[in-house]
Structure 1
Amino acid sequence: MNASIEARATRNLITFFTSKMLSSLGFTVFSFGISLYILSMTGSALSFATNMVFNVLPRAMAAPFAGYVADRFSKKRIVVLSMAGITLSVVVLIIYTYAFGMSVAAIYTITAIFSTIGAFNGVAFSSAIPSLVGKDRIQKALSFNQISYSIGGIGGPVIGGMLYGFVSMEVFLIAMASAYFVALILEASMDFTLFEEKKSTKKEKMLESMKQGMSYLKGKPIIKSLLWMNVWINFFSSAISVGLVFVLVQTLSMPSQNVGFIQAAGAIGMLIASVYLSVRSNMENPVPFIRRASTMVCLFLASLSLPLFFEMSMQNAVIIYICIMFCLSAMNICTNTPIGVFIQRSVEDRYRGRVFGLIETVSVGTGPIGALIFGALFDFIDARIIFISVAIILATLLWYYLGKVTKYQALEEAK
């Protein structure tokens, strides 16, 4: 690689990280303010949950179409236009709020718009990573992407907490619009064709193109196995997001500040693991690393039940859960990031949008389904039984699919 391309790839990587961090911070600050605003305005958990549905459902439904569009048209154009659409939507909401005041209906509408347009932005950006930074930098790019989300997850509530109660909702919206506008400028400056592979310009109807994407996946058993791993990890992660809060608040009667410390430990674990992977050398064969990390995920998941087996002080329970969540979140990143790298390297450029559109739909869709199922289970079944059972089932599934990946790798090497 010559020095000019090396410098442009490094610039793309830094710009990618900065734009993702700004958009993540902007959205997290906005989400924090909106969540408190809805609860204070309506006093209804149902209204809050309804906003979550508007955030998830449109994105899951739009992702397959976003995948087709990403494979059919310029990824840079899609990324820039979608970010411009999101920024403009915030500006329109600011004008509406000044003119008529904030309303729950307006919040639901803007959330649905963000979710739909965000699907196109997310799928196009994910499928463009190898073209932006090259296959040798995919691991670093995905780690940087996770670092940006971790910074948003940690810094967003802090900034939002400082602003809420002291400034108006319009200020939250202006902060979000500013972050997105700067991200838009950065994304427009990126070279999306630096490592782009030449592909056929043959025109296809959308339905036929999406069928070809599915057929491509069927012919790639390694990618299909990794996708199933992603499905089950997302599904069973709902047991953590739902069950942990339930146990801390209902079973152990922890004050909210202790719950916040435990959740912050998870965000810090994700951040440190992402930084580690960003500086670690590329894994030629990530399967052994994924196997070790996923095994640790299941062990730490089962260990969430440990404080429930023994009588202990509140302080000791908080310390134990902080340690568990730190390690569990770190190992989760060490599992998901290499899987993402593996998929990015294995999928051909002309199919990458459709594949990542499917991944987006699956990833976004399985979370709420899992939350509903585990939300019901924790009301009727002992949390200890659920945590241990989920850990055993998840470990069995992950080892099964990793075994299939290893077998298919051996068959490909033998050809």
Structure 2
Amino acid sequence: MDFQIERRATRNLITFFISKMLTSLGFTVFSFGISLYILSITGSALSFATNIVFNVVPRALAAPFAGYVADRFPKKRIVVASMTGITLSVVLLIIHTWLFGLSVVAIYTITAIFSTIGAFNGVAFSSAIPNMVGKKRLQKALSFNQISYSIGGIGGPVIGGMLYGFVSMQVFLISMAVAYFIALILEATMDFTLFEQHQKREKESMLQSMKEGVKYLKEKPLVKSLLWMNIWLNFFNSAISVGIVFILVEQLKMPSTNVGIIQGAGAVGMLIASIYLSVRSDLRRPLIFIRRAVILACMFIGSIAIPLFFDFSKELTFVFYMMVLFSISAMNICSNTPIGVLIQRSVEDHYRGRVFGLIETVSVGMGPIGSLLFGALFDFIDAKFLFVGIALTLFLLMMHYANRALRIYEKNST
């Protein structure tokens, strides 16, 4: 019996990875191609930015409701229904394009639909991972999830650029629909209840359920500390996304090709760190590992300012920033993945959807807020001093929450 469960868990893990890779590639290819299309027909950066808003805001607003639904109804049903909705949305966009052509309004509409339905799919999937693979495979599963995003980040623009340049938009969308349909079939074959602990759910309204989720989180100091660590990492990562491009393009006048290669080095760093965590054994002291990764990440963030203090050659500057972005991205994976594993292991199944719905809302929302804030700060504060300040602030915040989480974790373990 145990052998059968182990085999089904392994099958779930492999299917999960392939499904996530297909959806990640599909969405990245779609986003890249649609961005090029919007810019080509409007020539407006505002139109491009508006599409980003339609991608972010609905997902952030829908995530708390998705968390409630994930805790009230079978997660497999939610995942399959939401993926069916996403696939049908692409098919409807294809039909609309054939009949009326592809318009900006249609793109905004489909982006908002993707974002809303994607929140339900993402939250249900995230909260179901321990039930599909078991808690001892969580590190591997979350690492596989990161690998799929890294592959999407590296391969998506390449595939999207090739499709956009050589085929019609209809063929472009059909390719995406096929990828999502295959992912849907794979998800429908997965066992979402393999390790599920059945508990009787009390009937309560959506508002009461959400209040219970917040109350539960307040009573979980370890999860609360880990959540704050996740929030601050996401917030300050937006500073890196905005600031590194600002420095390379505006201050160092680096060619766009080199900027793209440097950003690609970050995706490679994520991929290698994810592969490392997927093949190694479970971390015996995860919070010590997280703390070391955060310290290194803060050091690398601070080092972004070094070429602005000293006169580096163009070649050395290029190589330096490749190494720095590679290292920052790798350390982010080495901190975020164990944080995710600890949260998954610490939250009971019947609260997991609401907790991950809250995490989804905060994580998605902090990116745009951080981008706007740091975008304004880089216009008024010297970038080299700002990056030193960012590194120090992040270091102090993360050490505070990491040390608090470590004390709680060790107390609970004794």
**Residue 83 of structure 2 corresponds to which residue in structure 1?**
83
* Equivalences, count: 414
State yes or no: 1:194 paired with 2:197.
no
**Residue 118 of structure 2 corresponds to which residue in structure 1?**
118
The DSSP-based 3-state class of the residue aligned with 2:312 is coil
Distance 1:413 1:281 in 2: 19
State yes or no: 1:386 paired with 2:379.
no
**Residue 349 of structure 1 corresponds to which residue in structure 2?**
349
How far has the Cα of 1:165 moved from its partner?
2.1
The DSSP-based 3-state class of the residue aligned with 2:136 is helix
Superimposed CA distance per residue, residues 56-88 of structure 1 (whole angstroms, 9 cap, x where no aligned partner):
000000000000000000000000000000000
- What residue identity is the alignment partner of 2:372? L
Superimposed CA distance per residue, residues 191-235 of structure 1 (whole angstroms, 9 cap, x where no aligned partner):
001000111132111100110000100000010000011111111
**Residue 229 of structure 1 corresponds to which residue in structure 2?**
229
State yes or no: 1:61 paired with 2:53.
no
Where structure 1 has 5 or more consecutive residues not aligned to the other structure, the ranges are none
State yes or no: 1:95 paired with 2:66.
no
How far has the Cα of 1:162 moved from its partner?
1.4
Distance 1:173 1:199 in 2: 42
Distance 2:377 2:305 in 1: 15
Distance 2:163 2:406 in 1: 50
Distance 2:193 2:325 in 1: 40
* Alignment map for 1:59-208 (pairs within 5 Å): 59-208=59-208
More deviation in 93-102 or 309-318?
A: 309-318
Superimposed CA distance per residue, residues 144-193 of structure 1 (whole angstroms, 9 cap, x where no aligned partner):
00000000110111111212222111122111111000000000000001
More deviation in 23-32 or 81-90?
A: 23-32
How far has the Cα of 1:413 moved from its partner?
4.3
The DSSP-based 3-state class of the residue aligned with 1:165 is helix
- What residue identity is the alignment partner of 2:178? S
Superimposed CA distance per residue, residues 3-55 of structure 1 (whole angstroms, 9 cap, x where no aligned partner):
10010000000000000000111111111110111111111111111100000
- What residue identity is the alignment partner of 1:60? A
State yes or no: 1:308 paired with 2:308.
yes
Distance 1:410 1:162 in 2: 51
**Residue 243 of structure 2 corresponds to which residue in structure 1?**
243
Distance 2:179 2:364 in 1: 24
**Residue 258 of structure 1 corresponds to which residue in structure 2?**
258
* Alignment map for 1:322-401 (pairs within 5 Å): 322-401=322-401
**Residue 210 of structure 2 corresponds to which residue in structure 1?**
210
- TM-score of the pair, normalised by structure 2: 0.99
- What residue identity is the alignment partner of 2:244? L
Which consecutive segments of 4 or more residues in structure 1 shift more than 6 A?
Answer: none
More deviation in 404-413 or 64-73?
A: 404-413
- What residue identity is the alignment partner of 1:90? V
State yes or no: 1:48 paired with 2:55.
no
- What residue identity is the alignment partner of 1:342? L
How far has the Cα of 1:412 moved from its partner?
2.9
Superimposed CA distance per residue, residues 111-156 of structure 1 (whole angstroms, 9 cap, x where no aligned partner):
0000000000000000000000000000000000000000011011
The DSSP-based 3-state class of the residue aligned with 2:165 is coil
The DSSP-based 3-state class of the residue aligned with 2:278 is helix
Distance 2:185 2:99 in 1: 28
Distance 1:30 1:175 in 2: 10
**Residue 2 of structure 1 corresponds to which residue in structure 2?**
2
The DSSP-based 3-state class of the residue aligned with 2:198 is coil
The DSSP-based 3-state class of the residue aligned with 1:198 is coil
State yes or no: 1:21 paired with 2:27.
no
How far has the Cα of 1:262 moved from its partner?
0.2
More deviation in 75-84 or 284-293?
A: 284-293
**Residue 291 of structure 1 corresponds to which residue in structure 2?**
291
Percent identity of the aligned residues?
71
Q: CA RMSD in A?
A: 0.9
Distance 1:335 1:222 in 2: 15
Distance 2:253 2:413 in 1: 55
How far has the Cα of 1:284 moved from its partner?
3.2
